[in-house]
């Protein structure tokens, strides 16, 4: 019998130690090092031992390597394809993370039911009947989706050898365990070893694998940080459970851009793709309300128009409150200081609350001017005229700075029926004969005089 060996691992970063230490020297976190049992034995391939040994790869000149376009697997989900960069790359490993109950399993089951290829959906958290109940609401007529409830990787690979699926979905990686490691499922060693086995399977068989990953209370994916380095793509599925809208972002993508965004609406029949999110993120309110402004932003290749709401009121306590939802609170403080210093507005003794509707978070600096307009509108209790939108950054000197891809923002505003857009005077605009009026401004004071006289 092989001798049992123990090792100490950091639960935060996965660093290994020979003995227990109070602080991890790698990530500097305290009390994260735990002891795990590691059983070393000869590992077999994910295939059976009867398969022929694969020949070692030989080096090639870079000029000899073909640059053919990779054929991607169409998921029949435009939002999912957009975030991945055009579809699922064969042999790739995709990690999908998100909060509990946000809809990760629903999204992947929906993709599995839509695909015209053979899909093996492996669940370690739900029974086959539970998955069947959800599948009946989404697409009960699918014939290409196979459900397996198993947590041991050796048994999963036996079923893969018989079924030979075109796509493998694992829900979730934290529930898997392998015989080669003695520690419990969900531990650092098990997650790392199970992922390594799946990567070997994906690369050798050219079969794409999608993993579901749990997240910690800090919002990071549970397990060792090396897990995110091992996979090809890391996706984040986010949103407020009090809202019906969900956002799919790419945090890492070896085969496409990480700036793309996918938006879904949670319904009783599954997740509905939102093809025109601007109409969703702007409230249909006929009344003229103060403290509301429309900003033209860009997420990846997609222009969006979002509604920004601000509330300025007299501070009840000694220290004024500054609260922002979906917007950087430090940038809000900076814009308030600019209005105080450069534009002469006395906001130091007032509470300021800012909210981006729809439950989304935006870090595009082009919404600065809309934030300023919403704050000043609420402060003076004068509503901004309907049909106005903004696309510009505000600098510390009170200047209105240009932003990238302003032509796309203008065209999106024109398509949604806006009559006027405020942009920086220094922007180079290539559009001609547009129906929307383009107002060029250079300072915040020009915007204030144009809006409120």
Annotated binding residues for ATP: 98-105
CB atoms within 10 A of CB 366: 25
Crossing angle of the two packed helices 153-163 and 188-205, in degrees rounded to 10: 20
Buried b (16+ CB within 10 A) or exposed e, 246-279: bbbbbeebebbeeebbbbbebeeebbeebeebbe
CA dihedral of residues 246, 252, 253, 258 (deg, nearest 10): 60
Please compute Rg for the chain using Cα positions.
26
Annotated binding site: 98-105
- Angstrom distance (rounded) from CA 314 to CA 317: 9
Q: What angle do CA 69, 74, 79 make, to 5 degrees?
A: 110
What residues contact residue 195 under an 8 Å CB cut-off, 6+ apart?
A: 93, 173, 211, 227, 230, 231
Q: Which residue has the tokens 């086959």?
A: 128
- Angstrom distance (rounded) from CA 293 to CA 379: 13
**Residue of 126, 128, 115 whose CA lies nearest to 165:** 115
Enumerate the β-bridge partners of residue 215: 221
What residues contact residue 342 under an 8 Å CB cut-off, 6+ apart?
A: 397, 398, 443, 444, 445
Give me the half-sphere count of Cα atoms (radius 13 Å) on the Cβ side of residue 294. Answer: 31
Longest dimension (CA), the chain: 86
Enumerate the β-bridge partners of residue 149: 123
Q: Which residue has the tokens 């370690």?
A: 124
Quick one: tokens of 343? 């534009």
């Amino acid at each position: 019998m092989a001798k049992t060996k123990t090792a100490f691992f950091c639960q935060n970063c996965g660093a290994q130690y020979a003995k227990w230490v109070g602080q991890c020297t790698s990530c500097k976190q305290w009390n994260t090092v735990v002891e795990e049992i590691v059983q070393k034995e000869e590992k077999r391939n994910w295939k059976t031992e009867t398969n022929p040994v694969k020949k070692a790869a030989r080096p090639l000149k870079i000029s000899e390597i073909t640059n053919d376009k990779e054929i991607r697997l169409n998921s029949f989900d435009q939002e999912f394809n957009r975030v991945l960069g055009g579809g699922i790359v064969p042999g790739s490993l995709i990690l999908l993370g998100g909060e509990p109950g946000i809809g990760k399993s629903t999204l992947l089951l929906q993709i599995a039911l839509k695909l015209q290829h053979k899909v093996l959906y492996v669940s370690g958290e739900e029974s086959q009947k539970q998955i069947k109940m959800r599948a009946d609401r989404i697409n009960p007529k699918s014939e290409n989706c196979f459900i397996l409830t198993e947590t041991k990787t050796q048994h999963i690979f036996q079923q893969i050898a018989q079924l030979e699926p075109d796509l493998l979905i694992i829900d979730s990686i934290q529930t898997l365990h392998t015989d080669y490691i003695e520690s419990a499922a969900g531990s650092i060693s098990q997650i790392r070893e199970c992922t390594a086995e799946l990567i070997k399977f994906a690369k050798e068989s050219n079969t794409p694998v999608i993993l579901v990953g749990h997240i910690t209370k800090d919002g990071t994916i549970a397990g060792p940080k090396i897990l995110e380095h091992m996979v090809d793509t890391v996706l984040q599925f986010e949103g407020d459970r009090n809202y019906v809208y969900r956002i799919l972002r790419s945090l890492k993508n070896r085969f496409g851009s990480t700036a793309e965004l996918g938006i879904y609406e949670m319904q009783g029949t599954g997740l509905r793709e939102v093809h025109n999110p601007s109409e969703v993120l702007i409230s249909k309110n006929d009344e003229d309300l103060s403290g509301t402004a429309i900003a033209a932003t860009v997420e990846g290749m997609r222009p969006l128009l979002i509604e920004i709401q601000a509330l300025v009121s007299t501070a009840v306590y000694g220290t004024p409150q500054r609260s922002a939802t979906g917007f950087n609170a430090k940038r809000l403080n900076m814009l308030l200081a600019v209005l105080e210093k450069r534009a002469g507005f006395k906001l130091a003794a007032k509470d300021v609350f800012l909210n981006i509707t729809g439950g989304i978070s935006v870090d595009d600096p082009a919404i600065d001017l809309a934030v300023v307009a919403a704050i000043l509108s609420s402060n003076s209790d004068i509503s901004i005229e309907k049909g106005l939108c903004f696309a510009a950054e505000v600098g510390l000197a009170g200047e209105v700075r240009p932003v990238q891809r302003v032509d796309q923002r203008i065209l999106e505003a024109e398509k949604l029926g806006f009559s006027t857009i405020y942009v920086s005077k220094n922007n180079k605009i290539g559009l001609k004969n547009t129906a929307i009026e383009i107002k060029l401004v250079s300072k915040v004071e020009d915007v204030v005089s144009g809006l409120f006289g």
